[in-house]
Amino acid sequence: MAEMHGRRRAALRRLLAERELDTLLVTNLLNVRYLTGFTGSNAALLVTRDDAVFCTDGRYDTSSASQVPDLERVIERDCGLALAARATGRIGFESDHVTVDGLADLSEAARAELVRAPGLVAELRVIKDETEIEALRMACAAADRALAALIEHGGLRPGRTEREVARALDDGLRDQGATGPAFATIVAAGEHSAIPHHEPTDAALKAGDLVKMDFGALVDGYHSDMTRTVVLGRAADWQTEMYELVAAAQAAGRAALRPGTPLAGVDDAARSVIAAAGRAEQFPHGVGHGVGLEIHEAPALNKAGTGTLAAGMAVTVEPGVYVPGQGGVRIEDTLIVREGAPELLTLTTKELVVV
């Protein structure tokens, strides 16, 4: 693992040279984890052109020696200030993470020029290496198994509340080896399924309901994301029609996941299917987003997205159609952009499941 983190820091040094920076002060804990493997709650990292220094406080003296064995360690409570005082030359800092008050403190501590350097580590994180992809595979597999177990054991049935189903899914994720849910699980039944990000309530599931479940697993710090919509009992014609439309849009979005495709083009590929059916206004959100150490990270697959897809990006494709007062359908997968066809990580069927 130390070798892998060393490669990541080497890639970051190349970006420092391109930006004419002598050092980068990394204070975003997720970025520190990406570059060192440290999982505690207080740390910073100073990356120079040829070295790096890690800092945490005394609570993590022992654990950081194990997780970060290859770097000089500084034990201080205020890690950002301690490392800023050691930096020389042009010091880049994560201006998208540092607060206004924090910048004032850094300016006092630093003995050299501070330069805004937002997004440098995020630029690296957008392309996943095989270690990250394997963690994502494991997270997606845990979510697949949790949903299968929920259905197999009768967890989706009339009379259960949305909250009960959400809790059962969360417990199932842990049972399948996940640290826990990747985010607050969404269970939305009946009319609530027309609310894209509904919070589960004590509303009971009823026969004939669409039940939309948006959930994911957290494994080794990496997040999966999947949405499936099922029907309790016999599906009505309008439910089948809506589901088939969203499934077609989702398939079009997945097919667009090729290196070089404009990010906005993925959104358009799915959205145009729904718009052609006269339901454009019923699809109010973007078609997807990046996933990794955060549940929502770059790239953004929406109409305003800039840039293009590249091999190794981990993204979701999640179109939906929502009719207030009636119901809604969303189908979402996590995938890896590959040369040729994307790698699908969420393997639960996308056929309409009637429970």
pLDDT of 2 higher than 90: no
Residue 301 lies in a domain: yes
Domain boundary among 99, 125, 151: 125
Q: pLDDT, tens digit, for every residue of 164-186?
A: 999 999 999 999 999 999 999 99
Q: How far apart are the C-alpha atoms of 110 and 87, rounded to whole Å?
A: 7
Q: How far apart are the C-alpha atoms of 80 and 66, rounded to whole Å?
A: 21
Report, as an integer, the average pLDDT of 233-247: 97
Report, as an integer, the average pLDDT of 181-195: 98
Residue 352 lies in a domain: no
Q: Does residue 74 sit in the same domain as residue 206?
A: no
pLDDT of 239 higher than 90: yes
Asked if 166 and 200 touch (Cβ cutoff 8 Å), the reply is yes
Domain residue limits at 24: 2-125
Of 210, 246, 194, 236, whose CA–CA distance to 350 is shortest? Answer: 246
Asked if 114 and 135 touch (Cβ cutoff 8 Å), the reply is no
Q: pLDDT, tens digit, for every residue of 54-79?
A: 999 999 999 999 999 999 999 999 99
Residue 353 lies in a domain: no
Q: How far apart are the C-alpha atoms of 79 and 67, rounded to whole Å?
A: 17
pLDDT of 1 higher than 90: no
* Percentage with pLDDT > 90 across the chain: 95
Domain total in the chain: 2
Domain boundary among 125, 146, 172: 125
pLDDT value at residue 139: 98
pLDDT class for 131, splitting at 50, 70, 90?
Answer: very high
Q: Does residue 141 sit in the same domain as residue 190?
A: yes
Residue 274 lies in a domain: yes
Exposed e or buried b for every residue in 13-36, given b needs 16+ CB within 10 A? bebbeeeebbbbbbbbbbbbbbbb
Three-state DSSP at 26 gives: strand
Q: Does residue 141 sit in the same domain as residue 245?
A: yes
pLDDT of 111 higher than 90: no
The answer to which of 96-110, 214-228, 300-314 has the lowest mean pLDDT is 96-110
- The answer for residues whose C-beta is within 8 angstroms of residue 140's C-beta and 6 or more apart is 217, 224, 226, 334, 345, 346, 347
For position 156, which CATH number holds?
Answer: 3.90.230.10
Q: Does residue 86 sit in the same domain as residue 160?
A: no
Domain boundary among 85, 108, 125: 125
Q: What is the pTM of this model?
A: 0.95
What is the residue-averaged pLDDT of the chain?
96
Would you give the DSSP letter of residue 326? T
Q: Does residue 110 sit in the same domain as residue 205?
A: no
Report, as an integer, the average pLDDT of 266-280: 98
Q: Where are the beta strands (DSSP E) in 173-258?
A: 180-181, 186-189, 210-215, 217-219, 222-223, 226-231
